[in-house]
Structure 1
Amino acid sequence: MAAAGETESFAPLIENEVSQGRFVLVCEHASNAVPARWGTLGLTQEALRAHIAWDPGARALAQALSARLDAVLVHAPVSRLVYDCNRAPDMAGAMPAQSEVYEIPGNADIARDERLARTQAVYLPWVAGLHGVIARRIALGLRPVVVTLHSFTPVYHGKPRRVELGVIHDADAHFAVAVQSAASKLTRLNVQLNAPYSAADDVTHTLRLQATPYGLPNVMLEIRNDLLATAEQVTTMADQLAAVLNMGLVEIQRQAKAS
């Protein structure tokens, strides 16, 4: 609990930090929890269980992948409606007033001081915590491969989405292209590059901030959430994606040796 006059902060949750694998798994939208100080943001419990508040299935998938890849996992402890850790403080989506068809009353006309308070309580601890994990692993010679994990709704604004696995990159496409190729070979998923989002939609903030400055291989994976609805589906997807990520890593290592 924060002392009087201080802002309570919500540090990222870190699992398997002593792992020896190269992958650093990141789940910015792991939780739909809204701390008491923000009430319910004016939303019903049904709305807070919906995809607008988090990425359903993403945390379970990330944890399963962490076990299979011997990877460290960093995930956010609060809903993206309080603060979306994959958005910079000046982005409208950091504290959205509307998400798809949902109005977010608690985010309407947020005062300047409240924006700062949420940034200090959620975003700054998140950035520092994830950066610390990456920097420590670089120091140990475990040069990280950064993978952010998300899920997306099968129907958006009334339109069905055929893509099942989106592979998204920011400035450096090398690892994303290797992962897309591996997924096409190893799975029957409808795999698309830069779908249903791309860097043009401002969804690669974490990669841009945490991986690009160090020149680290990185990719953002988006899995359609109806494929993560049960424990069995999560297990199947984790088995597939572990093999895909490993193949992608082998490929960029081969390319590096050849260059």
Structure 2
Amino acid sequence: METARPASLASPETVRVTNPGGSSPFVLTCDHASNFLPPEFGTLGLAAEELSRHIAWDPGALAVARRMAEALDATLVETRISRLVIDCNRPLDAPDLISAISETTTIPGNVDLSAESRAWRVAFAYDPFHAAIEDVISERQASGRETWLVAVHSFNPVYKGVPRPWEIGIIHDDDTSLAAPLIAALRSRQGLAVGVNEPYSPADRVYHTLEFHGRRRRLPCAMIEIRNDEISGEEGQQRWAGLLTSIMRVIEPQSRSASVGAVGTQMDGDH
């Protein structure tokens, strides 16, 4: 187990903000962008190959988010530390904030952590990520700029032995001002399996970043989940980034005309 101490000089900054002055109303987040473990964590007791799995990050999500941000001239806020250290997309009181078991894998370095070690991880990685998002939004609001939050994630094709048929899922709560046009545009693509609040929903505590930073400000929010076998290589990453960018460019004027924070009707398939 690590003791509470400052990050080593070999550790990178734990959060990166790209294009903070982007002209787009979209602000993208990538909450599980990296599988990097700073040296002081070792491998948390895992075999090195385990760190390439979804338990450590969202494979492919950052590559898609970066392409989207560049094409849209949008701001991107990304984590640079593995979710195994701390999951920045969970409430601080969530049981899986620092998982001792992820999916079916025990994380030895996360078992029986002291309160001091948990608090240090919050200060090390969690707080800087959320402070960066707060800073971006506050600056935009101070200058009167619209802000629409979109979180980019990926999910496993099979979870605990159960196949997941969706190629992409759009997660939302009562606010559908962004989610509804995204879902409609994706469903118009013939043969594309689109999940609505699948494979996760806000009830699974996966909506924390958007809820905390967006919903309390009545900002439009939506979460994009792409099945990670679709974006395991550059071709798939480019294809999905291109599709989502083209859709977001079309829905931008629609969302501009909608009331910020409008509460929409729940869509078919919602939990």
Q: TM-score, normalised by structure 2?
A: 0.89
**Which residue of 2 is the match for residue 195 of structure 1?**
198
Of 83, 91, 96, which aligns to 1:93? 96
Residue pair 1:170, 1:207 contacting (<8 A) in 2 also: no
Letter in 2 for 1:167: I
Structure 1 Cα separation of the partners of residues 180 and 195 of structure 2:
10
Check 1:241–1:166 CA distance in 2 against 1; reply closer, same or farther (3 A cut): same
| Matching residue within 177, 181, 187 for 1:178 | 181
CA drift of 1:6 comes to 6.3
Match of 2:237 among 219, 234, 238: 234
Whether contact under 8 Å (1:13, 1:74) holds in the other structure is yes
Give the aligned partner of residue 105 of structure 1. Answer: 108
Which is worse superposed, 134-143 or 198-207? 134-143
Deviation at 1:171, TM superposition (A): 3.8
Q: How many residue pairs get matched? A: 254
Aligned-pair distance for 1:71? 0.5
Task: Report deviation, 1:243.
Answer: 1.5
CA displacement 1:83-130 (0-9 Å, x = unmatched): 111012211111001111211001111111111110111111111111
**2:26 match:** 23
Equivalent position SS for 2:24: coil
What is the match of residue 51 of structure 1?
54
Residue 69 of structure 1, aligned match among 50, 69, 72: 72
Distance 1:13 1:173 in 2: 28
2:143 to 107, 131, 140: 140
Percent identical: 40
Cα pair 1:14 1:73 within 8 Å, conserved: yes
Deviation at 1:186, TM superposition (A): 4.6
Q: Supply the distance in 2 between the matched residues of 1:175 and 1:184 (Cα, whole angstroms).
A: 14
1:150 offset after TM fit, Å? Answer: 0.2
Alpha-carbon distance between aligned partners in 2 of 1:182 and 1:231, rounded to the nearest angstrom: 23
The 3-state SS of whatever aligns with 2:125 is helix
Shift of 1:214: 1.4
How far residue 188 of structure 1 moved from its aligned partner, in angstroms, is 4.2
State whether residues 90 and 97 of structure 2, in contact with CA within 8 Å, keep that contact through their aligned partners in structure 1: yes
Q: Matched residues in 2 for 1:85 and 1:126: separation? A: 7
Give CA deviations for 1:208-252 in whole Å, capped at 9, x if unaligned.
Answer: 111112111110000000110110111111110012222333333
> Residue in 2 aligned with 1:7?
6
Contact 2:14 2:81 in 1 (8 A): no
Q: 2:24 & 2:84 partners in 1: Cα distance?
A: 32
User: What runs of 5+ residues in structure 2 fail to find an aligned partner?
Assistant: 263-271
- Which of 221, 225, 242 is 1:222 aligned to? 225
Instruction: Answer with 246-255 or 95-104: which moved more.
Output: 246-255
| Residue aligning to 1:150 | 153
Answer with 33-42 or 132-141: which moved more. 132-141
CA RMSD of aligned residues (A): 1.8
Per mean C-alpha deviation after superposition, the further-off stretch among 185-194 and 208-217 is 185-194
Checking the alignment, whether the CA contact within 8 Å between 1:21 and 1:142 is kept in structure 2 is no
Give 1:105's aligned amino acid.
P
TM-score normalised to structure 1 length? 0.93
CA distance in 2, matches of 1:157, 1:6: 36
The structure that is helix-richer by fraction is: 1
Listed as ranges, the gaps of 5+ residues in structure 1 are none
Letter in 1 for 2:182: V
Range moving further from structure 2, 155-164 or 185-194 = 185-194
Distance 1:256 1:97 in 2: 42
CA offset at residue 52 of structure 1? Answer: 0.6
| Cα displacement (A) at 1:137 | 1.4
Aligned partners of 1:166, 1:92: CA distance in 2, in Å?
A: 24
5 Å matches for 1:239-258?
A: 239-256=242-259
- Name the structure 1 match of 2:40: 37
Partner of 1:211: 214
Residue deviations 1:169-214, cap 9 Å, x none?
1342222112101211256421121000000100000011111121
